[in-house]
C-alpha cells in the first residue's frame, strides 16, 4: 500500500526535518503552480519520470529539476550515463512511486524499492535555494523542505540520491 501524504509528513517529522506544507487546488503543470503559488519563497521543481528506451535493462529515473529548466530528455539520459530514455508510462509511475500523473515528486521515493528507481537532482537547483518545494505525494499540497534534509530523507529510505550537472539545452 503506497504511503499517504500524512504518513510522509509524519516520517519527515520523526526524522526531525522541518517542513512547511500548504494545501491548494490540484496543480498539473508548472504554469498552474506559478499562477497559484502566492508567497512560497524558495525553489520550485519539476520532476521527470523516465525509463531506458526500448525496454533496455536498468532502473527507472526520477529527475528533479528547477521548474523553468529547459533540457533535452535524452541529454539527461546521457548525463545519467544511459543512452536514450523516454517518459515512463503512468502504470510505472503508480507501481514504483505510488503517485498519479501530475503529482510526481521526489517524496514518492518512499514507495520505491531501493534499486528500482535512480533519483537524480539538479545540483545547481539544490545549491541555490534554502528551501525547495515538492508535492507530498498529491498535487493538492506543496511542502517546503531544505535541500540537505531532502537528501537525508531519501538516504534514510535506502536510496542514493545523485546530484546531477544538468546539461544546458541547445538553442
Residue 170 lies in a domain: no
What are the pLDDT digits (tens) for 37-53?
666 778 989 999 999 88
Helix (H, G, I), strand (E, B) or coil at 45: strand
Residue bearing cell 535512480: 118
C-alpha cell at 124: 545547481
How many structural domains is the chain composed of? 1
Q: What is the model's pTM?
A: 0.91
What is each CA distance from 107 to 14, 84, 171, in whole angstroms?
Answer: 15, 25, 32
45: containing domain: 5-161
Residue 171 lies in a domain: no
Residue 65 lies in a domain: yes
C-alpha cell at 140: 493538492
User: Domain with 85 in it: what CATH number?
Assistant: 3.90.960.10
Residue 166 lies in a domain: no
Residue 167 lies in a domain: no
Q: How far apart are CA 14 and CA 11, in angstroms?
A: 5
Q: What angle do CA 98, 103, 109 make, to 5 degrees?
A: 45
Residue 169 lies in a domain: no
pLDDT at position 104 is: 94
What are the pLDDT digits (tens) for 72-124?
888 888 888 888 899 999 999 999 999 999 899 999 999 999 999 999 999 99
Of 132, 49, 34, 149, nearest to 89 by C-alpha is: 49
Is residue 143's pLDDT more than 70?
Answer: yes
CA 122, distance to chain mean position in Å, is: 10
Of 90, 109, 97, nearest to 153 by C-alpha is: 109
Of 78, 59, 79, 74, nearest to 122 by C-alpha is: 79
DSSP letter at 158 equals T
Question: How large is the average pLDDT for residues 154-168?
Answer: 93
Is residue 66's pLDDT more than 70?
Answer: yes
Amino acid at each position: 500500500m503506497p504511503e499517504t501524504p500524512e504518513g510522509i509528513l509524519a516520517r519527515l517529522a520523526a526524522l526531525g526535518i522541518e517542513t512547511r506544507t500548504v494545501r491548494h487546488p490540484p496543480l498539473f503543470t508548472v504554469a498552474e503552480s506559478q499562477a497559484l503559488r502566492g508567497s512560497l519563497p524558495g525553489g520550485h521543481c519539476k520532476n521527470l519520470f523516465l525509463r531506458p528506451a526500448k525496454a533496455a535493462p536498468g532502473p527507472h529515473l526520477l529527475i528533479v529539476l528547477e521548474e523553468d529548466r529547459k533540457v533535452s530528455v535524452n541529454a539527461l539520459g546521457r548525463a545519467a550515463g544511459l543512452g536514450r530514455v523516454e517518459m515512463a508510462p503512468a502504470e510505472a509511475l503508480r507501481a514504483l512511486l505510488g503517485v498519479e500523473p501530475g503529482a510526481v515528486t521526489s517524496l514518492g521515493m518512499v514507495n520505491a524499492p531501493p534499486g528500482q528507481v535512480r533519483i537524480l537532482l539538479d545540483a545547481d537547483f539544490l545549491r541555490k535555494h534554502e528551501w525547495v518545494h515538492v508535492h507530498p505525494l498529491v498535487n493538492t499540497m506543496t511542502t517546503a523542505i531544505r535541500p540537505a534534509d531532502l537528501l537525508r530523507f531519501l538516504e534514510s529510505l535506502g536510496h542514493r540520491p545523485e546530484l546531477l550537472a544538468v546539461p544546458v539545452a541547445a538553442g
